[in-house]
A and B are shown apart, each in its own frame.
Chain A
C-alpha cells in the first residue's frame, strides 16, 4: 500500500543551523509529492511541490526516486520556521480527485 513516513516527530535546532526534515514514501510509479506547513494558530498551507522545483522561504526539496525520499532542507533555520510540517503524496490512481496521503508530521522547533 502507498505510504508516507516522516520518522521524526520533533526536530529541534538552533537558529542558523541547517535543517533537514525527512520524508520517505512507498510507491513504485512516478510520484507527485508535496510539503504542507502549519504555523502556530494558522491554517495548513502548501509550502512546495516537487514538480515546481522551486525554493519557498529558503526551503527546497529534491525527489530521490532511488531512495524514495523527498526530504525538506534549509541551509540556515530561522525562528519563524518553527511549525508543523507534513509531507504528502498524491494518491496513485486517484484520477482527477487530487486526494493526498499525508505523513505523520514533524514539528520543527528553532531555538534562538
Chain B
C-alpha cells in the first residue's frame, strides 16, 4: 500500500518566515509533485521532480523552491512566506509513465496559514 506522508497537518507561520514542508513516499516512485489546493481554483502544480536533484517548475513556482536530495523525500520551501501563500499544500508521487500516465498518490495535505 502506497504511503505518502507530509510532515505537518497544520502550520501557522508569520509573514517573512522561511517555511519548510516535507513529503516522504515509501514506494520508490520516481515522480514527486507539490500542489496548492484552493477553493474554486482546483489543484495547481507548484513544482515537480522526476529524479533525485532534478526539478521542473510547475504553473505557479513564484515564491517557492524545492529540494530532492533523496528519492523518497521532496521538500517545498517558502523562501519568505506571504499571506497569499495561505493554502492547503498537497504532495503526490507516481511511477515514471510508460505508454500511459500512472496514478498519482497523494499525501494528507498541510494546511498552512501565514499571518
Interface hits, A83-112 → B, CB 8 Å? 86, 90, 94-100, 102-105
| Residue ID in chain A nearest B56 by CB atoms | A97
Contact between B103 and A46, CB atoms less than 8 A apart: yes
Distance from B53 Cβ to chain A, minimum over Cβ atoms (Å): 16
Which residues from chain B contact A43 at a C-beta distance below 8 Å? 4, 106-109
Is B108 a contact partner of A96 (Cβ separation < 8 A)? no
In the complex, residue of chain B having the shortest beta-carbon distance to the beta carbon of A100? B104
**A54 contacts B by Cβ under 8 Å:** no
Q: How many residues of B contact A (CB 8 A)?
A: 32
Among residues of B, the one whose C-beta sits closest to the C-beta of A9 is: B40
Q: Is the CB of B96 within 8 A of A98?
A: yes
- Residues 26 to 60 of chain B near chain A (Cβ within 8 Å): 31, 33, 35, 39-45, 48, 50, 56, 58
List residues of A whose CB falls within 8 A of some B CB. 4, 6, 9, 32, 34, 36, 43-46, 49, 51, 86, 90, 94-100, 102-105
15 pairs of residues in contact across A and B, judged by CB atoms under 8 Å:
A32-B101, A43-B4, A43-B107, A44-B43, A46-B103, A86-B42, A95-B97, A96-B50, A96-B96, A97-B50, A97-B56, A98-B95, A98-B97, A102-B35, A102-B43
